[in-house]
């Protein structure tokens, strides 16, 4: 059974944090197909958050096809992300390591690397690369001008 936690200081809204934690658990293994997610009451009792937040998170996961609600019984996992993760991330991770090595050799420190990544990331989104709505960070007001443009 997955246990949720909330980070008040992350930029993410609580419901997004819950969604992410489920997806993370699916990816890394603690959650498997057929497992039951904690009931809304259990999550709320543990975290002292609004029940609607949990409902929203579960609805989002259902919308993504990852879980299904069975009325009167609970919410159960219907798919995993494990397979996709293992296959796709290997080469991507290697590319990223190579890029990081090059950035360091170019003299960039950690903060500069992060800033460079974030601005490019945001600019790329504006240029129309499709993002699934759930993984868009909350910092997006539609049509944002990038910082430092």
Partner 1 sequence: MAAVIQAQGLGKRYGRRWALTDCTLDIPAGRVVGLVGPNGAGKTTLLHLTVGLLAPTSGSVRVLGGRPAANPAQLAKVGFVAQDSPTYAGLRVADHLKLGARLNPGWDAALARGRIGRLGLDPVRKAGKLSGGQRAQLALTLGIAKRPELLILDEPVAALDPLARREFLQGLMEAAAEHELSVMLSSHLVSDLERACDYLIVLVDSRVRVAGAVEGLLATHHRLTGARRDPTRLPADQHVVAASHTDRQTILLIRTVGPVHDPAWAVHDVGLEQLVLAYMRHPETTALGRPTLAAVPPDATEVSL
Cβ closer to partner 1: 78 or 144? Answer: 144
Q: Which is nearer to partner 1, 85 or 137 (CB)?
A: 137
Full DSSP string of 80-127: -SHHHHHHHHHHHHHHHHHHHHHHHHTT--HHHHHHHHHHHHHHHHHT
> Quick one: which of 2, 24, 44, 81 contacts partner 1 (CB under 8 A)?
44
Q: Closer to partner 1 by CB, 52 or 94: give it.
A: 52
41 binds partner 1 (CB under 8 A): yes
Question: Which of helix, strand or coil describes residue 133?
Answer: helix
Cβ-based neighbours of 22, under 8 Å, separated by 6 or more: 2, 31, 37, 57, 61, 66, 67
Per-residue binding letters, 97-136, with partner 1 (x by CB under 8 A) = ------------------------------------x---
Does 147 bind partner 1 (CB under 8 A)? Our answer is yes
Contacts for 20 with CB less than 8 Å, ≥ 6 apart = 12
Query: How far is Cα 3 from Cα 16, in angstroms, rounded to an integer?
Result: 15
Q: Which of residues 46-85 bind partner 1 (CB under 8 A)?
A: 46-54
Contact residues toward partner 1 (CB under 8 A) are: 6, 8, 11, 13-14, 40-41, 44-54, 133, 138-139, 141-145, 147-149
């Amino acid at each position: 059974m997955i246990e949720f936690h909330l980070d008040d200081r992350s930029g993410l809204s609580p419901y997004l944090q819950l969604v992410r934690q489920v997806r993370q658990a699916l990816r890394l293994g603690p959650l498997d197909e057929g497992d039951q997610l904690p009931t809304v009451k259990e999550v709320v009792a543990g975290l002292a958050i609004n029940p609607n937040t949990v409902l929203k998170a579960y609805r989002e996961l259902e919308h993504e096809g990852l879980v299904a609600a069975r009325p009167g019984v609970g919410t159960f996992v219907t798919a995993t992300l494990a397979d996709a993760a293992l296959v796709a991330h290997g080469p991507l991770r290697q590319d990223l390591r190579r890029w990081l090595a090059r950035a360091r050799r170019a003299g960039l420190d950690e903060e500069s690397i992060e800033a460079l990544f974030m601005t490019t990331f945001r600019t790329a989104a504006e240029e129309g690369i499709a993002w699934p709505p759930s993984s868009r960070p909350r910092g997006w007001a539609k049509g944002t001008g990038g910082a430092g443009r």
